[in-house]
């Protein structure tokens, strides 16, 4: 506060934090005296204008009577396309079409034409029966060969770790091929792992379906099944040799060695220069690496209109278009603030690139999908669209359907170093089992690792404004 007394405090706890605000913000006596944007953005890490309806209409001017409707761009619209197995199914469908087309020609006009040419048209029915028998054997044998026989998983996972904690958090969307008929149990978690405090409440698993409108009809399996709320980490589902999609949230010991200091600690000196070494031992090189440094919040000020970024943030892509190999040490002292991208510019460009990538509402997966993953990571910190502008054509509102809890923008409220990268080809880090066995898996894992730095809480501006 203006007098130097703390009105809010925070303590990191596990992978999150607990924040206590010493004011009753719901008290009627504070109505009109507390600036919601000043308070909540500093606590939650957001950046958008918090205005009343009257203020909005006054800002829009007499030429407008309602808030502008912007184009909605969904950052997670391609999740279903990244985990489904339509490619595998398409092979079988294509082979079936080829077999049927060949059978139609030989049993129909082509076969009849050949018999006529050879002068044995009287054997047409015999030839038809022979061709039908041969293609019955071909179709049956081909279906048996093409039919999948092994359970496997295709996933998309966000894996979060905080330095100093012996737990990581994973949120996964995955499809699992269940090649049997009957019922199978899909579960998440290691039953032999020690309890984390409240047993069976940390890990949850449920069937998932893409909420986006789609013209494609789902597989018509309408059989009912029961999900036990007392055991949310497993579900027994009916199977018909098809693919089922799930979402899971898992907390447990790290499956891999995430980025960590190679020796000593990571520090920031009085000139805001980083010092320290980072290394990782992930199962593959880390790609699309971004390093975000937050030096702390800007001083508190009464001027909060617009969409100011409340923190002093800098971003680097230390490896450019190259990968960060496992076991290779990264010297943070080479990251100079003069070469960094300032936070305002970084989040503005990220929002525009993500909107451009995903503007087309189709199932196609952009080639530069990692930019969308980064936009999901920093959704609350992205620069909002300029709704005050006179020309809003082309402006987009970045939205989410299923990734609301993946936002790391809360970390922009306190000093920290964050590493974001991805493993395009990796096993699923969450322990998934089918009938007690671990199936092979493959997919993309987005790594997000946080190193908390020394606290530096914001204070009133030098002129005493608050």
Q: What is the pLDDT along the chain (466 residues), one digit of tens a residue?
A: 777 788 889 998 888 889 999 888 888 888 777 777 888 888 888 888 787 777 767 766 666 556 667 788 889 888 888 888 655 555 556 666 777 777 677 777 777 777 777 777 776 777 777 777 777 777 776 666 656 668 899 999 999 999 999 889 999 999 999 888 889 999 998 766 665 554 545 789 999 988 877 656 566 666 788 888 888 889 999 988 888 999 999 998 899 999 999 988 999 998 889 999 999 999 999 999 999 999 998 887 756 666 788 899 999 999 998 999 999 999 999 999 999 999 999 999 999 888 888 876 556 666 778 888 999 999 999 988 776 665 565 678 889 999 988 999 999 999 999 999 999 999 999 999 999 899 999 999 999 999 999 988 887 766 544 4
Which residue, among 273, 281, 243, 204, has the nearest Cα to 447 in the 3D structure? 281
Token duo for residue 192: 């032999």
Rg, the chain, Cα only: 28
Q: DSSP labels for 229-272? A: TT-TTEEEEEEEEEEEEEEEEEEES-SSEEEEESSS--EE-TT-
Q: What is the DSSP code string of 406-424?
A: G--GGGGGS-EEEEEEEEE
* pLDDT, position 466: 46
Residue 194 has a pLDDT of: 60
Closest by alpha carbon to 169, among 194, 197, 204?
Answer: 204
CA distance 248 to 205: 4
CA 428 to centroid of chain Cα atoms: 14
Beta bridge partners, 16, equal 13
Model-level pTM? 0.84
CA 303/CA 255 separation, integer angstroms: 46
With a CB cutoff of 8 Å and minimum separation 6, the contacts of 116 are none
Per-residue pLDDT at 36: 78
CA distance 233 to 203: 5
Q: Are 427 and 442 in contact (CB under 8 A)?
A: yes
Look up tokens 């908390």; give the residue: 452
CB count within 10 Å of CB 186 equals 25
**452 DSSP β-pair partners:** 416
d(CA 96, CA 99): 5
Q: What tokens were used for 129?
A: 């029966």
Q: How many other CB atoms are there within 10 angstroms of residue 395's CB atom?
A: 15
């Amino acid at each position: 506060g203006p007098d130097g007394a703390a009105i809010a405090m925070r303590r990191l706890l596990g992978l999150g934090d607990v924040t206590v605000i010493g004011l009753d913000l719901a008290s009627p006596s504070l109505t009109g005296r507390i600036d919601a944007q000043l308070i909540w953005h500093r606590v939650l890490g957001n950046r958008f204008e918090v205005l009343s309806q009257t203020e909005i209409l006054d800002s829009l001017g007499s030429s407008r009577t309602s808030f502008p409707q912007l184009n909605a761009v969904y950052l997670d619209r391609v999740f279903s396309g990244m985990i489904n197995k339509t490619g595998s199914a398409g092979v079988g469908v294509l082979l079936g079409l080829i077999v049927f087309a060949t059978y139609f020609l030989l049993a129909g006009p082509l076969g009849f034409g050949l018999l006529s040419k050879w002068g044995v048209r009287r054997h047409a029915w015999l030839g038809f029966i022979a061709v039908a028998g041969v293609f019955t054997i071909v179709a049956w044998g081909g279906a048996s060969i093409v039919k999948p026989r092994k359970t496997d998983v295709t996933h998309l996972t966000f894996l979060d770790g905080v330095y100093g904690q012996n737990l990581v958090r994973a949120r996964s969307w995955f499809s699992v091929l269940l090649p049997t008929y009957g019922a199978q149990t899909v579960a998440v978690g290691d039953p032999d792992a020690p309890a984390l405090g409240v047993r069976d409440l940390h890990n949850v698993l449920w069937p998932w379906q893409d909420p986006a409108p789609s013209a494609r009809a789902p597989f018509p399996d309408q059989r009912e099944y029961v999900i036990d709320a007392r055991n949310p980490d497993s579900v027994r589902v009916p199977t018909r040799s098809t693919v089922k999609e799930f979402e899971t949230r898992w907390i447990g010991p790290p499956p891999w060695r995430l980025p960590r200091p190679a020796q000593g600690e990571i520090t920031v000196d009085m000139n805001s220069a980083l010092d320290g070494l980072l290394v990782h031992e992930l199962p593959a090189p880390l790609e699309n690496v971004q390093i975000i440094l937050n030096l702390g919040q800007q001083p508190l000020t009464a001027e909060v209109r617009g969409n100011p970024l409340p923190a002093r943030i800098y971003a680097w892509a230390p490896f450019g278009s190259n990968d960060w190999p496992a076991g290779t040490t990264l010297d943070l002292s080479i990251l100079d603030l003069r070469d960094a991208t300032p936070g305002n510019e970084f989040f503005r460009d990220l929002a525009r690139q993500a909107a451009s990538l995903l503007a087309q509402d189709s199932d196609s997966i952009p080639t530069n999908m990692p930019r969308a993953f980064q936009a999901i990571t920093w959704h609350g910190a992205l620069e909002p669209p300029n709704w005050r502008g006179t020309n809003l054509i082309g402006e987009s509102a970045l939205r989410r359907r299923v990734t609301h809890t993946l936002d790391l923008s809360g970390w922009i409220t306190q000093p920290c170093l964050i590493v974001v990268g991805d493993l395009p080809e990796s096993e699923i880090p969450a322990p998934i089992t089918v009938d007690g066995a671990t199936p092979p898996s493959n997919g993309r894992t987005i790594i997000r690792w946080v190193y908390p730095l020394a606290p530096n809480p914001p204070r009133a501006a030098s002129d005493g404004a608050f």
